[in-house]
Structure 1
Amino acid sequence: MSLSFDLNDLEVLTTNAKQIQDKLLEDILTLNANTEYLRQFLHGSSDKELFKKNVPVVRHDDVKPYIERVANGEPSDVISGKPITQFLLSSGTSGGKPKIFPINNKYFEDMTFIYAQSSSIISKHIDGVQEGKAMMFKFSRAPSTTPSGLPVSSVTGSYLTGEYFRNRPSNHFTSPDEVTLCPDNKQAMYCHLLCGLVRRDEFVSVAATFASTLIGAITVLETHWKELCSNIRSGHVSEWITDFACRDVVTNILGGPNLELADLIEEECREESWKGIITRLWPKTKFIQSVLTGQFAQYIPTLEFYSNKVPLISMVYASSETIFGVNVNPLCKPQDVSYTFMPNMSYFEFQPADEGNKGEIVDLVDVKIGCYYELLITNYFGLHRYRMGDIVQVSGFHNNAPQFRFARRKNLVLSVNVEATTEEDILKALNHATDHLKSSDLILMGFTSYADISNLPGHYVFYWELKSNKVNGVVKLDNKVMVECCRVIEESFNYIYREVRTKDKAIGALEIRVVKQGTFDSLMEFFISQGASASQYKTPMCINSSEALEVLENSVRARFFSDKLPPL
């Protein structure tokens, strides 16, 4: 596959989606039919109909023993027709402990291809992008290894420490590689910001893999702006930046004292409100790029506040298992993002999500607009008809390739009775509730939830971390506003929740527990200590771990309950 890309490729791929998918499945089966895993179902055949009839739909637990055998040193042909060279680590926050997935360099060929595709699409919609750099907040750390010595790392970490990143044609980031590859994430974040401030006239976009990282960057800026200004004014990097490679390259970028720039930054940061701080400090910013779909939709209002509503773009839908597709309409509202699936990435199948996994499984080109499906993937590296747990809704087609809106993770639901409240339900309710925070000049910085059934009737608990939208502002909790937020969340939930809550009185009043600032950083540290990937961490939307709940409970500063039953 060519690693370059132009928009004609997009048209060819999406027009010939069925033919490309059929050929890709044939290639995968030809390559892998004699692996130990597939041979028991296909007996060496690469026939599509036999594949559909005999190969079972599986979850991670079903294939985990095969993956672990390769990780422990058995030959790759247990699951893969080509050598497995490393393992990707899932984030570990969607469904419990991190999982590992086998790959080789083809995964990064696909990633490089999709990045080129994304860049071409953005360039079509936004002028002048190619002439500028991006302030990119990416982080890496040394991979761990399997018992057989193969590296294990997150997608981001594997890419950053691999040849495709190292050998890219040019550096389009304001930070040099020494900063991106700094193993200490705190030092790296500070130096990303310092390089971005010094090179403020060179870049046109701000980017991070996940929106939560951008919120974290703003928090660090708010905490350290005086120190950053001092570094720029003196031309010296703070002494606590002890990574020598990082320190040397950033000192070179500083290039000596710059009083004028330090004064300019200080003037902006001293303002009472940080509304629009991104475009005030970096006026050439044309867009912000990050994942803003699914659980990251919660950060859209906060990023709009800090960015003066420059375009927020979600370009790529990807996972540790495979890459799915791209957003061909990057300037749409972030709440309306759909991804066009690329038929050359993996073989995709879809099972109707509302039929209890009993509906007919259909191919990529046979999905129906408006319907919800659970994703099944077959890739080159040993996953066959693998149930992703992602629920997507078909929103349209680009030529013959369907476009999907990410709806929710399948198992992320709250329930204390017969109701099932999905990720989609939670995010919709949250958007309605946070509108009511504006009157208190408060911003929601992080949230999670759980179903408390320790007493009857059980009830939903939401943990909120709030901050003032004024610099050094104190978080003042207005009881009336917070109770109203509780009420609005309940009113936004589905009919079954409202009926069970109102008629049957089988669900108690919804509760919001406000936690101290910094609590969600502590939650992140807890999950990382349990094996989650630092570079791919996502705050879980629903908490099931008693230890994680303890982290939250130790920081609760106030509790509020809905004071009315929701209308039916």
Structure 2
Amino acid sequence: MATINEFKDGLQMLEEATGDAERIQEQVLGQILKRNAGTEYLSQYLNGKTDMVLFKKNVPIVTYEDIKPYIDRIANGETSNILVAEPIVEFHRSSGTSGGQPKLIPATAEISNLGALYFTLIASVMNKHSLEIEACELGLTYSYFIYRHFGNLYQAGKRLEFMFVKEDSETPSGLKARSSSTSFYKDDRFRKVVSKHSTSPIEAILCSDTNQSMYCQLLTGLIKRDEVVSVASAFATVVLRAIKFLEDHWKELCSNIRSGEISDWITDSGCKDALSSIMKPNPQLADSIQNICSCKSWEGIIQKLWPKAKFINAVTTGVMSQYVETLEFYGGGLPLVSVFYACSEAFCGINLEPLTGPSHVSYTFIPNMAYFEFLPLNKDSLTIAQEDIETKPVDLVHVMLDQYYELLVTSVAGLYRYKVGDVLKVTGFHNSTPQFQFVERQNVILSIHTDKTSEEDLLKAVTEAKTLLEPLGFFSRGYTSYADLSSIPGHYVIFWELKAKEENDNLELDPKIMAECCYRMEESLGYIYRSNRKQNAIEALEIRVVKQGSFDELMDYYVSQGTSMTQYKTPSCIMSKEAIKILDSKVMAKFFSP
């Protein structure tokens, strides 16, 4: 349990790091070069030197495909010093849902230590704001409250946090390949503290069967509902998956609580052992949960089931922003908190004002996590600026307010000037360190002819169309898209899962309104798209409304392909033919732009 001194130390460390960002960034790069200049990869550009100017002049900007041959050699048994002097202890497997195939990202012991520091800093920020929430509710000033209470909000309760692992795989050399979240959850440091802060038993978290794990985590969270002070997961998709699971299984869960016995289909020994220690007949609790879940509308269900919850903690920025309305519906007014910005390649930023609304969230980069550079982007097209052929990356402290950039990372684990693929916008500064809004993934686009629709463009179009359905009592449970080129000319296809705010098994959609939704989407897209439509170079946009649970099946497919559920992000544009086939099999209605 964090003490008040540790809480203050974390905040002080953040202030010191962000106040001296330029020196710390130079120090980070200097240390990386000093250790690794002699590696096979860097020596071909630096000849063993550690000069930072030479690094920026000679070391190329790369994508994963550029360094994949080096990673493959290490995965197949060659020594780590091809890329990095420190031994590679495992590979972190990216989700692959944002824009293509999963990647293997090298990880060293130092990455694990940086992760521990990063999450300690996040905890310091969250502790501060958790205390502020409670102080406001008690009518106390923050300064008075802080000295009256030691520890943090979680002394009075725990998080109901949905966490999942994937089974480890191994490379031919014997190194583990697993998601970064799985690595974190299996770390001994996490195992030692999880029971203090979370209702989810470690045995359930480490169960690789996601359905049994979800059941166990939800059942424990319901039994301990009076201890829950926040509902959380890494991404909004997982919180909503938990709500959907609860919709499908609440009667069974209530029966379990009433009888004190778990369902027969729970066969995982860890889950069974964890539940057996807390299960006992509790008809009163079962009746209370049943009364809440049997209501006609599930609006505010999270707040009703967990009345002491202060917020919902999950990333709701970027493509996750499509779920804000749905989370707000189920949350019943609970604040939505997006506190971290990280990727498989590096820990990047922290939201220092976590109670800010999702549309205004900015992440302050932490200078000692990696060496960061930024490729300027054209503000209008969000493509690499070509007007000046000499356009070069800029350092962290030299980015410009309101400008767009693509993130480059040089890490302690053997990535050098690596294009992460994220598009960011500078929104301000904390001390000398810039703050960024996550915009979208670079190159995740729809294109038929000369049109190029970005992830952000598509989100704006769907958001515009949603305004037609909201007055009718519908909200979106998810969307994705693909460019259908099976006929000439091709057209955009939007898969959309819709749900009525009140219980309604027969989803009836007015064809005229849905056609207008298609038209609104097209009108929201760019000038080049609309020009192509007028010239019949692109056919009419199509919305395919899919059955309830279709996007859960899409998630299940990607999880079956190796994606960790914890890190799952619904792809805004599908590239997998198998994934398209899954959604096509669930289509219940099709509509076209007039």
Question: Would the TM-score normalized by the shorter structure come out above 0.5?
Answer: yes
In the alignment, does 2:573 pair up with 1:542?
yes
Q: TM-score, normalised by structure 1?
A: 0.95
Equivalent-residue separation in structure 2 for 1:22 and 1:3 (angstroms): 27
Match of 2:68 in 1: 64
Match of 2:299 in 1: 275
In the alignment, does 2:561 pair up with 1:522?
no
More helix by share: 2
Secondary structure in 1 matching 2:494: strand
Cα deviations across residues 47-78 of structure 1 (Å, max 9, x unaligned)?
A: 10010011111111111111111111111111
Equivalent-residue separation in structure 2 for 1:75 and 1:238 (angstroms): 48
Identify which of 29, 44, 54 aligns with 1:25: 29
Q: TM-score, normalised by structure 2?
A: 0.91
Equivalent-residue separation in structure 2 for 1:492 and 1:253 (angstroms): 53
Equivalent-residue separation in structure 2 for 1:153 and 1:237 (angstroms): 30
In the alignment, does 2:112 pair up with 1:101?
no
Any residues of structure 2 matched to 1:195-344 within 5 Å, and which? 195-254=220-279, 256-344=280-368
In the alignment, does 2:583 pair up with 1:552?
yes
Deviation at 1:83, TM superposition (A): 0.6
Q: Which residue identity is paired with 2:590?
A: R
Equivalent-residue separation in structure 2 for 1:236 and 1:548 (angstroms): 37
Secondary structure in 2 matching 1:85: strand
Inter-CA distance 8–159: structure 2 relative to 1 (3 Å threshold): same
When structure 1 is superposed on structure 2, of 83-92 and 475-484 the one drifting more is 475-484
Equivalent-residue separation in structure 2 for 1:137 and 1:308 (angstroms): 19
Q: Which residue identity is paired with 1:402?
A: P
Secondary structure in 2 matching 1:517: coil
Cα deviations across residues 476-526 of structure 1 (Å, max 9, x unaligned)?
A: 222133222212212222233233334x34322211001122222332333
Q: Which residue identity is paired with 2:100?
A: G
Deviation at 1:170, TM superposition (A): 5.7
Equivalent-residue separation in structure 2 for 1:232 and 1:69 (angstroms): 52
Equivalent-residue separation in structure 2 for 1:192 and 1:471 (angstroms): 25
Secondary structure in 2 matching 1:171: helix
Deviation at 1:441, TM superposition (A): 2.3
Cα deviations across residues 1-23 of structure 1 (Å, max 9, x unaligned)?
A: x9985211111011100000000
Match of 2:43 in 1: 39
In the alignment of these two chains, the number of paired residues is: 560
When structure 1 is superposed on structure 2, of 414-423 and 489-498 the one drifting more is 489-498
When structure 1 is superposed on structure 2, of 129-138 and 258-267 the one drifting more is 129-138
Equivalent-residue separation in structure 2 for 1:80 and 1:197 (angstroms): 47
In the alignment, does 2:450 pair up with 1:418?
yes
Percentage of pairs with the same residue: 50
In the alignment, does 2:114 pair up with 1:83?
no
Equivalent-residue separation in structure 2 for 1:528 and 1:194 (angstroms): 22
Match of 1:14 in 2: 18
Secondary structure in 2 matching 1:247: helix
Q: CA RMSD in A?
A: 1.7
Match of 1:566 in 2: none
Cα deviations across residues 14-51 of structure 1 (Å, max 9, x unaligned)?
A: 11000000000000001111111111111111110010
Unaligned runs of 5+ residues in structure 1 are 564-568
In the alignment, does 2:219 pair up with 1:194?
yes
Equivalent-residue separation in structure 1 for 2:160 and 2:540 (angstroms): 44
Preserved CA contact (<8 Å) 1:97 1:530: no
Preserved CA contact (<8 Å) 1:467 1:474: no
Deviation at 1:393, TM superposition (A): 0.7
Deviation at 1:472, TM superposition (A): 5.3
Identify which of 471, 479, 498 aligns with 2:530: 498
Preserved CA contact (<8 Å) 1:3 1:116: no
When structure 1 is superposed on structure 2, of 229-238 and 550-559 the one drifting more is 550-559
Equivalent-residue separation in structure 1 for 2:100 and 2:107 (angstroms): 22
In the alignment, does 2:160 pair up with 1:135?
yes
Equivalent-residue separation in structure 1 for 2:275 and 2:198 (angstroms): 13
When structure 1 is superposed on structure 2, of 548-557 and 321-330 the one drifting more is 548-557
Preserved CA contact (<8 Å) 2:238 2:565: no
Match of 2:180 in 1: 155
Secondary structure in 2 matching 1:126: helix
Equivalent-residue separation in structure 2 for 1:475 and 1:118 (angstroms): 42
Preserved CA contact (<8 Å) 1:3 1:109: no
Secondary structure in 1 matching 2:372: strand
Preserved CA contact (<8 Å) 1:94 1:540: yes
Secondary structure in 1 matching 2:277: helix
Unaligned runs of 5+ residues in structure 2 are 135-152, 379-383
Equivalent-residue separation in structure 2 for 1:461 and 1:379 (angstroms): 38
Cα deviations across residues 108-131 of structure 1 (Å, max 9, x unaligned)?
A: 222222222122212222325232
Preserved CA contact (<8 Å) 1:393 1:404: yes
Preserved CA contact (<8 Å) 2:481 2:494: yes
Cα deviations across residues 271-326 of structure 1 (Å, max 9, x unaligned)?
A: 10000000011111101111111111111100000001211011111111001110
Match of 1:466 in 2: 498
Match of 2:150 in 1: none
Inter-CA distance 528–260: structure 2 relative to 1 (3 Å threshold): closer
Secondary structure in 2 matching 1:414: coil
Match of 1:377 in 2: 409
Equivalent-residue separation in structure 2 for 1:60 and 1:511 (angstroms): 33
In the alignment, does 2:181 pair up with 1:177?
no
Preserved CA contact (<8 Å) 1:58 1:386: yes
Match of 1:110 in 2: 114
Identify which of 438, 441, 447 aligns with 2:473: 441
Runs of 4+ off more than 6 Å = none
Cα deviations across residues 210-236 of structure 1 (Å, max 9, x unaligned)?
A: 111111100010011111111111111
Equivalent-residue separation in structure 2 for 1:526 and 1:207 (angstroms): 23
Preserved CA contact (<8 Å) 2:349 2:363: yes
Equivalent-residue separation in structure 2 for 1:249 and 1:525 (angstroms): 25
Match of 2:564 in 1: 533
Preserved CA contact (<8 Å) 2:161 2:231: yes
Q: Which residue identity is paired with 1:464?
A: W
Secondary structure in 1 matching 2:73: helix
